[in-house]
Structure 1
Amino acid sequence: MLREPLPGRPLVRITAAAAGLALAAAGCGTSARGDTGTVKIGYFQGAVAGPEAIVAANGDLAGKVPAKIRLQPIDSGVAGMAQLRAGAFPFVSGVGNPPFTGAFASGTDVKAVYVESIDASGLAVNDRIKAPGDLRKVGVLVGSTLDFQLRGWLKSQGLTSKVQIASFASEAAEAAAWKAGKIDSVYISRSFLLELQKHKARVLVGSADIAKLGFAAVNMLAVSSAYAKQHADVVQALVCQISKAETLVKGPQADKYITPASKFIGVAPADAIAATKSYPYIPASEETGWLKGPDGTSASGRLAQNFKLTADFLVTQGRAKSVPDTAEIARHIDPAFWDKAQSGGCK
């Protein structure tokens, strides 16, 4: 998506006091040998506790990062990448492929160093839609990773010229339109999808199936190239601990690690636990294939292929002038930190 917000992580309002508490807590328990000060990370609030929140909230993880972690809420990937470019923070966690690709295509010097997850979303339809050919008009969050996935799927089904896309400024408005019967199908993130299913919506196709066609909506840890060069130790530690966090929230100690992270995302611990445990984080066994291909280069990895398709989408949307060549795309993917993590670099 444009990360408005992470599918499965609906944007929530929190009080200024709560936000201040979260930011203050981010620095607690994070002292580490060789501390390099404070590192700020742009992140999304909502039902799912992102790996950056898990790390920041748990001292045994945060303490291995040689900087104090401060999380700064963002409400869209485009805004987050603009803030990164302006120097507000060097990292954005959970940024989707359209805003990331759009950023580097327009000159932002940024690198994807870890692929965190694939969006969990689906095409919700009413009982009048029995098959793809019955679709006439589909609602979607404009310019988002969902928009990217929907258009890619429609193209694969030969339906591009047959189905009208209704653009919405928010997923809440999209869901409300479906409930009111103003539209019979919407491609929407999981949190809204689950709600629509309570109103008898049926899922015609899911994001996992669309991802297999090459149109994956991926969420990444992005870092300013300049920061990565100057503070490689911090980037390395964050990649290591974020990967560990994603493993822990799927294991027997999940509740222990998710509960303190709930203060960052603005939901009750029980809600955060339920949403986070089932969220589709990418398994460590699949991470390498995203960052680089069989020949060992980022140019042939799944992420580079995804960025090319994403750039095609951005050009058709008028949000990018041209599709970057393979070498330019590869320059913004750095598998070195993950490679080091796999060869003992996290010890």
Structure 2
Amino acid sequence: MLNSKVPNPDAVYLITGAVGFVGYYLSKTLLKQNCKVIGVDNLNDYYDINLKYSRLNDLSTYKNFTLFKTDLADKEAIASLFENYRPNVVVNLAAQAGVRYSIENPDVYIQSNMVGFHNILEACRLYPVEHLIYASSSSVYGANKKVPFEETDVVDNPVSLYAATKKSNELMAHTYSHLYNIPTTGLRFFTVYGPMGRPDMAYFGFTDKYFAKEPIKIFNNGDFENDLYRDFTYIDDIVKGIVGLLHHYDKENLYNVYNIGNNQPVKLMEFIHTLEKCLSNALGEKVEFIKEFEPFKKGDVPATYASTDKLHAAIGFKPETSLQEGLQKFADWYVSYYIEKTEKIN
């Protein structure tokens, strides 16, 4: 069973990246249970800003939600928020995401993922919190060939700057836990997907390409026998895991890191075929992507596969959403949000 003490309606939850994909769903879950949520987001244009505003408009209907349009790299603004609101629990989900974009634009990763996270840690030191939870990533495992990935694996060889910043976050959190007795929990996310997700993710981009009548690029060299494996995790399962950890930490070991994934990896081509079927169901007509196969990309890893035994032992975490069910919910949302809405306007 998940921790029965959470969430606490008397607590103040500060969530950075509150109108991002995971931040939006976590914020909404807490708000539905009458919790007070202080959201922080810089609303950058890394992807479709209209999608971010759709999430924000939904959250703004809750009286217990307040959003501050602030960048984590603004140290004074972050410190002021902590001083004024004294959050009990902080969930740091704001970060510059994306493995491939970190190769194109490294500077923004240092500012957001390194400087920004340091500012959060400093604020937690100056204005003590009950618990700091922060987003790490499965990318810290690099080209690890041992699967499933376990939290005890050595993760000293990141293959992208994004992964390097996430590993650095874990090291920084360890230092602050050790020096200042701040309970910190890092979550290594494994390919989160679902409605209102990030358009830069492959499943979303594939769907965009289909409706634009453009081919999708599949970076597996057309090698179906040695295809990429991914541990796709539906958003509802991710949020349940985070909620279960909000007030859960080991008082004897204040620093912790957990995998949070589906523990059931699938081949990339199987994922694509399932998405085609789900879009076919949503549209009532056969959907088949135009496919172009390309070489493996730098920074990509062959397989991401989470061992979730540690998180299960801590809070009873067990993903419940099948790939078919999760992708069907995404496909139904996409058709409703983009296609049917456009047809009504026209």
Same fold by TM-score greater than 0.5: no
Q: Which has the higher contact order (CA 8 A, sep 6+)?
A: 1
